[in-house]
A and B are shown apart, each in its own frame.
Chain A
Amino acid sequence: MKVKIRQWNGVASWLWVANDENCGICRMPFNGCCPDCKVPGDDCPLVWGQCSHCFHMHCILKWLNSQQVQQQCPMCRQEWKFKE
């Protein structure tokens, strides 16, 4: 017997390669989106800091904008720098 597979339609779910489940700012799952967004993934991406913490991009930008003096990671209070 010979089996010839013409087409295999699989199902997968995507997920962020992050070290946590939820965004430390909005507490929403990374695989979902930040409270301001409707659609996850490309439209509501994650960003990583050099301290290796990551957040929804919209969340951390909002946070950084609200910091007057120094821009710190809300988790570890190190200076926030985007990881290249």
Chain B
Amino acid sequence: MEDIGMEADSAEMSGSAQQGVADAWGAVTAALMSPGGSVTEQSLSDSLALLCGQGLGRLLGGWLLETLQMRLSSSVVPEFWAGLKQPENEMEERGRAWVLLTAFRTLLGRLEPFLGGLERLGAWQDEGRGSLCGPGPGGLQERAFTIIRALLLFSPSPVLQERVLEFYSRTFSVYMNQEGRAEDGAEAPDGPERGVCPGCGVPTQQCWCKEALEQLQELSHILSKLQLLEWVSCEAVTSILHKLIEQRMEQHCRGEYERSFLLEFQEWLELVLGWLSKVFASEADREGLVPAPSAPSAPRAPSIPAGQPGSSVLKQWRCHMHQFFCRIYVNMRIEELFSIIRDFPESKAAIEDLKFCLERTNQRQQLLTSLKSAFESRLLHPGVHTSDILTVYISAIKALRELDPSMVILQVACQPIRKYLRTREDTVRQIVAGLTGDAEGCTDLASELSRGDPVTLEMQDSDEEGNDPEDWTPDPTDAVPDKMGSKRRSSDIISLLVSIYGSKDIFIDEYRAVLADRLLHQLNYNTAREIRNVELLKLRFGESHMHYCEVMLKDMADSRRINTNIREEESRLSEEEQPPLSLSSIILSSEFWPPLKEEKLELPPLVCQAMEAYTHRYEKLKAMRTLSWKPHLGSVTLDLELEDRTLTNLTVSPIHAAIILHFQEKSTWTLEELSVKLGAPKELVHRKLALWQQHGVLREEAGGRYYVVETGSSKEKLERGVMLIDSDEERDSNTTTQSEQREEKLQLFWAYIQAMLTNLDSMTLDRIHSMLRMFVATGPVVTEMDVNELEAFLQRKVREHQLMVSAGVYRLPKAN
């Protein structure tokens, strides 16, 4: 375009002037193309003045760019790419680096005249010789560089990126090897190998480390001169950094949770920064040399970050690297978070690192999603024992409250665990066992319980007490919007566990059952540990809830006193009046103990007499009170004398003792006979006989008859038997199970429901639920029962034909 315009202009000029202008044009263009040429400064400026006088000055810039463009597209760019591709992959790395550098050298050589011209043109313009650059935005130089970039990189071959990447990787390893030699030798895996330079990876005698670094410097210089540095290197540098950080992290950090890596990596990143400063060195130099406000004719475009002081380039890279590091680290740790949590107290360092990095990246959502799915796939399936789930949950509470003091991650990520635990039957029992320190391998809860400064579980209704509004901080954005709010988001392990079910009464009932079991199994009335536990639980659950447990403990103390009393009385009796059986008893306040299993058992007359005598003495001691024995509960210590051996100090349950006492009278019994005699069902008796068979005392023969084995039972059988007792019988719980108790409670509602339906004819499920809620004021029972449970109960009643349902409305069946 501009060529044509120029020709048109010149055609209009007069002949003589035409010749002068042509000469001047020739001189100036020649000067621009080869700076420092033969033309003198004086004649050049004359020519320039002439051109400007003719109004041709403005065209000079356009011409120069045009020429540059033509030259580039016709020869320079193809030459560059050809040069780069020239070796057909048969060269060594060193050679390839050389080719890369040569290609850029040639490129610079070809373009240098233009750059010189541009500079000169710029200088003229600065001297105020009129506008030479022609119209258009941006400075001439900048436009020239844009053209170079555009044409050169218009269709870049992947070979350039490959070469640059390879070259940078190499120089990086060379640099790191030189700088970091003191730090560690793990940079190049084959580093310590003999004869191979750890930097450039070739035998030592051919080492080109030094050369590589020099090449790096030259390349950087060329690139920055052509203002290509950013375009050619950034991608390569970024991917190298990414790859190296990742690689280093894989090597050093994966699976290693007990050490903090932040500082270590900080130091390493500083080293890397040293290399970066070499890559971007000339950039920094150049920028450092050129005073910023010098050239108003070539205003710096804000779009080129290289136009900032060099140190800021490095600063930017430092930020980038840090960002890379955080992101990669978080990614890795998120993957490993489940294991980190599982190892928690040991993996605290990893959690702290993760916390630091997580604050700098926006990956909470990713973390939550990943952790949740890890829980679901690794923990929440039938193959995992409840106590293990609880252990991990407790670790998760501990770990995640370190990670996120706002507890939001904890709350959200552990939701699936809580939901799942609710479906497990033995959750409550496991938690209570943990609290009382009975659970194997799970001492966290017990120590948590005895920790000072407990959080009371009393739900306060007044939210705003003693809380400075200044301290308020908003919830993180990923918080679950619920009624609880941040205040209620507790990090207290016990309250979190107890709140799984939304009610502490279940736990207290369970604890009561566990306590009852423990007390009944105890022989020595020693309750020190239980008293301590109850006291600790009182701090948590509040005095009133633990009241029943206190009465239970008091019963134990009272029983001991009464026993001592009765013993003393007995000892005052004469020889022959001494009771044949040493009987002591635990005397319960029945209203305060959990419902005990009722089993029928007829004890041998000897024991019954002893119990009667005991009751008698008790009645004397406590006026107007009597005892009701639970014959199947308790324990008996006895010795067995057989013809050839004696078993001493066996501790068995009353039914075992009763069985063996019967065998004392008669050495052969059938199952039926025993069952009648004991007043217990046959299968129970059969089960209990097994203990004596294990001991080798009894033997079952054909026809369901049991004999005493007086002689010749083998020793090892004996020992095996003793071991088996514990696993077999002793763990039988004396209290009714949770579900049985619950059933009873529901049964209680049935009367209410019937009454309601009689009066109101028909009701919906919700209505029944809310009515029960309103009218049955027997404490926490109703609130505990959710609609689903009620529905299940009603459905069962429907199946039993005690209730009718149609279109969601329940009614009583019509009495015929």
Q: Mark A26-37, 1 if CB is under 8 A from B, else 0.
A: 000101100000
B495 at the interface (CB under 8 A from A): no
- Residue count of chain A within 8 Å CB distance of chain B: 28
Closest Cβ–Cβ distance, residue A26 to chain B (whole Å): 13
Report whether A6 and B622 are in contact in the complex, using a CB–CB cutoff of 8 Å.
no
Q: Which residues B592-651 have CB closer than 8 A to chain A? A: 592-593, 607, 610-611, 614-615, 618, 622, 624-631, 633-643, 649
Q: Mark B582-598, 1 if CB is under 8 A from A, else 0.
A: 11111111111100000
Q: How far is the CA of A17 from the CA of B620 in the complex (A)?
A: 13
Question: Interface with A: B373-381, B653-661, B790-798, which one?
Answer: B653-661
**A1, A3, A14, A29: which contacts B618 (Cβ < 8 A)?**
A14
B558 at the interface (CB under 8 A from A): yes
**B592, B626, B641, B697: which contacts A4 (Cβ < 8 A)?**
B641
**B581, B592, B626: which contacts A5 (Cβ < 8 A)?**
B581
Instruction: Enumerate chain B residues within 8 angstroms of A11, measured Cβ to Cβ.
Output: 520, 585-586, 588, 629-630, 633-634
Q: How far is the CA of A5 from the CA of B658 in the complex (A)?
A: 11
Q: How far is the CA of A46 from the CA of B582 in the complex (A)?
A: 31
Known: A11-B629, A12-B586. Is A31-B641 also a contact (CB below 8 A)? no
A70 at the interface (CB under 8 A from B): no
Instruction: Enumerate chain A residues within 8 angstroms of B558, measured Cβ to Cβ.
Output: 41
Known: A12-B627, A12-B630. Is A7-B589 also a contact (CB below 8 A)? no
Q: How far is the CA of A11 from the CA of B610 in the complex (A)?
A: 13
Report whether B637 and A6 are in contact in the complex, using a CB–CB cutoff of 8 Å.
yes
A38 at the interface (CB under 8 A from B): yes
Q: How far is the CA of A40 from the CA of B697 in the complex (A)?
A: 45
**B586, B649, B710: which contacts A6 (Cβ < 8 A)?**
B649
Q: How far is the CA of A72 from the CA of B624 in the complex (A)?
A: 23
Report whether A13 and B661 are in contact in the complex, using a CB–CB cutoff of 8 Å.
no
Report whether B626 and A14 are in contact in the complex, using a CB–CB cutoff of 8 Å.
yes
Instruction: Enumerate chain B residues within 8 angstroms of A46, measured Cβ to Cβ.
Output: 624
A76 at the interface (CB under 8 A from B): no
Closest Cβ–Cβ distance, residue A56 to chain B (whole Å): 13
**Taking chain A's interface residues, is the majority helix, strand, or loop, or is none over half, making it mixed?**
strand
Q: How far is the CA of A79 from the CA of B330 in the complex (A)?
A: 85
Instruction: Enumerate chain B residues within 8 angstroms of A39, measured Cβ to Cβ.
Output: 551, 554
B81 at the interface (CB under 8 A from A): no
Residue of A nearest to B611 (CB): A10
B523 at the interface (CB under 8 A from A): yes
Report whether B628 and A9 are in contact in the complex, using a CB–CB cutoff of 8 Å.
no
Closest Cβ–Cβ distance, residue B531 to chain A (whole Å): 15
Report whether A14 and B641 are in contact in the complex, using a CB–CB cutoff of 8 Å.
no
Instruction: Enumerate chain A residues within 8 angstroms of B667, measured Cβ to Cβ.
Output: 1
**A2, A7, A14: which contacts B582 (Cβ < 8 A)?**
A7
A15 at the interface (CB under 8 A from B): yes
Q: How far is the CA of A54 from the CA of B2 in the complex (A)?
A: 124
Closest Cβ–Cβ distance, residue B705 to chain A (whole Å): 16
Instruction: Enumerate chain B residues within 8 angstroms of A40, measured Cβ to Cβ.
Output: 551, 589, 591-592
Q: Which of A1, A4, A12, A17 is the most central at the interface, judged by chain B CB atoms within 10 Å of its CB?
A: A12
Report whether B625 and A8 are in contact in the complex, using a CB–CB cutoff of 8 Å.
no
Known: A12-B628, A40-B591, A42-B622. Is A5-B640 also a contact (CB below 8 A)? no
Give A residues with C-beta under 8 Å from B.
1-18, 29, 31-32, 38-42, 46, 48
Give B residues with C-beta under 8 Å from A.
520, 523, 547, 550-551, 554, 558, 581-593, 607, 610-611, 614-615, 618, 622, 624-631, 633-643, 649, 654, 657, 660-661, 663-664, 667, 697, 708, 710
Having A11-B586, A32-B592, A38-B551, one finds 11 other A-B pairs with CB under 8 Å, namely A1-B664, A4-B640, A6-B639, A9-B586, A11-B633, A14-B618, A15-B625, A17-B624, A32-B589, A39-B551, A41-B625
Q: Which 6 A-B pairs have the closest CB atoms?
A: A11-B633, A32-B591, A13-B590, A2-B641, A13-B588, A12-B627
Chain A to chain B contacts (Cβ below 8 Å), 24 pairs: A1-B642, A1-B710, A3-B657, A5-B581, A5-B657, A5-B661, A8-B582, A8-B634, A8-B636, A8-B657, A10-B584, A10-B614, A13-B630, A14-B588, A14-B625, A14-B626, A15-B628, A16-B624, A16-B625, A29-B591, A38-B551, A39-B554, A40-B551, A40-B592
